[in-house]
Amino acid sequence: LEAVRRDFLSNAAHELRTPVTSISGYAETLLGGSVDAETSHEFLSTIHRNAGRIAALVADLLVLDSLEGRAEVVGTRAPVALAEVVGDAARTARGVTPDARIDVDVADGLSVLATREGLDHIVQNLIDNAVKYGNNTQVTVSAERVAERVRLAVADRGPGIPDGQEDRIFERFYRLDAGRSRDRGGSGLGLAIVKSQIEAIGGRVWVEHAAPGARFVVELDAA
Ligand code: ADP
């Protein structure tokens, strides 16, 4: 446990160091003066982007912290209409990426036992990842009832997850392509948080190969 903790802290510190170094470097140059307007605009937008990365990382760390040892969330579940949550998340994703192609096929009557806030975060994250890492391919969100459970699937037609990495992508700070994922604003915490949130409401999550693409499946108790 101590080793896990040390590892986590060192990863978090490492993730923070890069944007902080970049911000202080560019700010120092700007303070030195003698930078033309165009260059200073460029430096300021880099500073702004890196501040955004730090804010996103801190938000992720706070969510992780609030999930730690919270198995009792299961006790506060209530029926949540899946179509509504998926519709909201798809609209948000289209707002960020207007050319995203997101197909939603979720029956109206389908509800799961969850917390609205938790489910919003889970579904948003998976759709955002499908858009981000699916390289602008078609994203399909579907759901079906399987006995007493509901399976929600978010699939894209991008590069998918390589063999052997299916479990690792749910680990904290794990990224398939660190450089590329960091460019897209990722901290590598997204799926770790999604997994904790799903387990906190009594569900499970896994990824399948979709020939081509990745299909993330979330299984929750039906309401
Ligand atoms: P981040 O927060 O950096 O976006 P995540 O924890 O959400 O990271 O995902 C971990 C890694 O899994 C990402 O760096 C990415 O490489 C990979 N990944 C996640 N979703 C997909 C997907 N739909 N297709 C391909 N790779 C994916």
Is-above-0.85 flag for pTM? yes
75: pLDDT confidence band, cut at 50, 70 and 90?
Answer: low
Residues with CB under 6 A from ligand 1: 129-130, 133-134, 156, 158-161, 169, 174-177, 181, 186-192, 214
> Which of 9-13, 130-134, 137-141, 142-146 shows the lowest mean pLDDT across its residues?
9-13
Helices 2-31 and 37-67: crossing angle, nearest 10°? 160
Radius of gyration of the chain (CA): 19
Distance in Å, CA 130 to ligand 1 centroid: 8
Note the helical H segments in 97-186: 116-133, 178-183
Note the pLDDT tens digit of each residue in 111-126.
Answer: 999 999 999 999 999 9
Task: Give the residue whose CA is nearest to atom 23 of ligand 1.
Answer: 130
Note the pLDDT tens digit of each residue in 142-191.
Answer: 999 999 999 999 999 999 999 999 999 999 999 887 666 666 667 889 99
Pocket test for ligand 1, best of 129, 163, 172, 195 (most atoms within 8 A of CB): 129
Nearest to 133 by CA among 209, 58, 186: 186
Q: Is 16 within 8 Å of 54 (Cβ atoms)?
A: yes
Cis preceding-peptide flag for 212 (omega within 30 of 0):
yes
Task: Give the residue whose CA is nearest to atom 16 of ligand 1.
Answer: 176
DSSP-based three-state secondary structure for 101: coil
Distance in Å, CA 110 to ligand 1 centroid: 27
